[in-house]
Amino acid sequence: PLFHKGRELFGLWQVRDAHQKIPRLLVVEGYMDVIALHQYGITQAVATLGTATTSDHAELLFRNSADVYFCFDGDRAGRQAAWRAVESVLPRMRDGRQAWFLFVPDGEDPDSLIRKEGLDGFEQRLRQAMPLSEFFFAETGKDVNLSSIDGKARLAERARPLIGQIPDGAFRDLMYAELERLSGARTVAAAAPGGAQTGSSAGRSARPAQRSLVRTAVALLVQTPSLAAEIEPPWTFSELRQPGIPLLVELIRLCRERPALTTGALLEHFAGREEANALNKLATMDLLVDGEQGRADFLGAIGQLDVQTSQQRLDDLIARQIEGRLSEAERDELRQLMASKPAHRRKQ
């Protein structure tokens, strides 16, 4: 079929036509909702045409805008549809992307609501929409007594594998931190997409939830400076727009320039700088790895950061393509990125 509801969004072409850069996208269920919203001035509305929000929908939404609003009925079916959207969105919530959830009153839909309240009224509702994080914990915390140990454990077991699907970065770190605040579970393992370690099965291989890839790489490097010799420049990840990347690059350069550098000498080098306190803590962190496993973890973290950098560049080029600002060289680069998997340089 020319239009596949599970992969396409009704109205997206019109949104692209109306905006050089799409400031946000509003996802509704029916095409009449899209038409009414556009008529009243909300020209960023698209529809799934009654189907659940799929992973293809989520990918398409975030490729066009970093801010996505989902609008559903406030009844049980609407909240179930919203939760399916959450499940599709979580694996795509890289830093910089945001999602909100708006539930319309009983008996209303976006079409009737904007006709009744007008543009200003509907915009006010959008400003009061529930952030993804808030809706996530409201749903995972349903029927859970957080005043009991059993209830806190249940929340942790529900939320942990879902948060583990979020790409590594500040948003995932903060979601784990909020789960720890709510449940008190200090051993919330940062599960890799596709599964979570729980209970005794995690053993000594468990990793602290709040340690991002950058933090992992920095901690391993501080404790074993010789790891810097394992990766050859140029370093793809140095272009990644993430906190801590400049420090990681500086550490690698320092350790490569001074091959005999010890942890103590490295910490002394940073004495008096704002990073000193954090580096001192990382130097004493129990990473639960040593030797070859530490090397593998370091190279693995660097490799994943390289992948994120390539994805960041791909997203940038796609955004420029949507805006019609791609040069011929950038078109070639985009085709190459789409056709190949990113690789990172390792010392052979």
Pick 164 or 256 by higher pLDDT. 256
Average pLDDT value for residue range 296-313: 89
For tokens 């420029």, the residue is 320
Using 50, 70 and 90 to split pLDDT, how confident is the model at 193?
A: very low
In this prediction, residue 293 has a pLDDT band, given cuts at 50, 70 and 90, of confident
Task: Give the pLDDT score at 16.
Answer: 92
- pLDDT for residue 6: 46
Residue 318's pLDDT is what? Answer: 76
What fold does the segment set 213-339 form as a domain? DNAb Helicase; Chain A (1.10.860)
Q: What is the DSSP letter of 52?
A: P
What is d(CA 201, CA 203) in angstroms, rounded to the nearest whole number? 5
Tell me if 101 sits within 8 A of 129, measured CB to CB. Answer: yes
Section 200-212 average pLDDT: 41
Q: What are the sequence ranges of the domains in the chain?
A: 12-132, 141-205, 213-339
What is the pTM (predicted TM-score) of this model?
0.56
Quick one: which of 83, 18, 20, 5 has its CA closest to 45? 18
**Average pLDDT, stretch 119-125?**
96
Q: Under a CB-based contact definition with an 8 Å cutoff, are residues 302 and 237 in contact?
A: yes
205 pLDDT above the threshold of 60: no
The pLDDT assigned to 250 comes to: 96
Q: Any idea which residue has 């005999």 for tokens?
A: 260
Strands 130-131 and 45-47, bridge-based pairing: unpaired
Residue 187 has pLDDT above 50, yes or no: no
Least confident of 16-20, 58-62, 180-184, 215-219: 180-184
CATH topology (fold) of 141-205: Pheromone ER-1 (1.20.50)
Percent of the chain past pLDDT 70, that is, above it, reads: 86
Q: pLDDT confidence of 203, banded at 50, 70, 90?
A: very low
Torsion angles phi and psi, residue 72, rounded to 5: -135, 165
Q: Which two tokens stand for residue 28?
A: 């509704």
Residues in the chain: 348
Measured distance CA(201)–CA(238) in Å, rounded: 35
**pLDDT in the model for residue 327:** 87
Q: Name the strands in the sheet holding 130-131, side by side, starting at the edge strand that comes first in the sequence.
A: 45-47, 25-28, 67-73, 98-104, 130-131
pLDDT score recorded for residue 247: 94
Q: Quote the radius of gyration of the chain (alpha carbons, Å).
A: 23
**Per-residue pLDDT reduced to its tens digit, 77-100:** 889 999 999 999 999 998 889 999
For residues 195-220, average pLDDT:
56
Which pLDDT does position 243 carry in this prediction?
86
Say whether pLDDT at 3 is over 60.
no
Taking alpha carbons only, the member of 195, 175, 213 closest to residue 304 is 213
**What distance in Å separates the CA atoms of residue 309 and residue 213, rounded to the nearest whole number?**
13
pLDDT band at 186 (very low <50, low <70, confident <90, very high): low
Residue 169: predicted pLDDT: 80
Written out in words, the top-level CATH class of the domain with range 12-132 is alpha beta
Average pLDDT over residues 188-195: 37
Of residues 325, 300, 177, the one with CA closest to residue 231: 300
Q: What is the pLDDT of residue 24?
A: 96
Residues in CB range of 316: below 8 A, 6 or more apart: none
Q: Given this chain, do its domains 141-205 and 213-339 carry the same CATH topology?
A: no
Using DSSP's 3-state secondary structure scheme, residue 138 falls into helix
Instruction: Give the integer Cα–Cα distance in Å for 181 and 82.
Output: 25
Q: By the 8 A CB rule, do 9 and 61 touch?
A: yes
DSSP state of 47: E
List all residues 6 or more positions away from 91 whose beta carbon is below 8 Å from its beta carbon.
Answer: 55, 58, 165, 166, 167, 193
Q: What whole-number percentage of the chain has pLDDT above 90? A: 49
* Mean confidence (pLDDT) of the chain: 84
- Report the candidate in 87, 238, 62, 95 with the shortest Cα–Cα distance to residue 169: 95
> How far is Cα 207 from Cα 230, in angstroms, rounded to an integer?
22
342 pLDDT tier (thresholds 50, 70, 90): very low
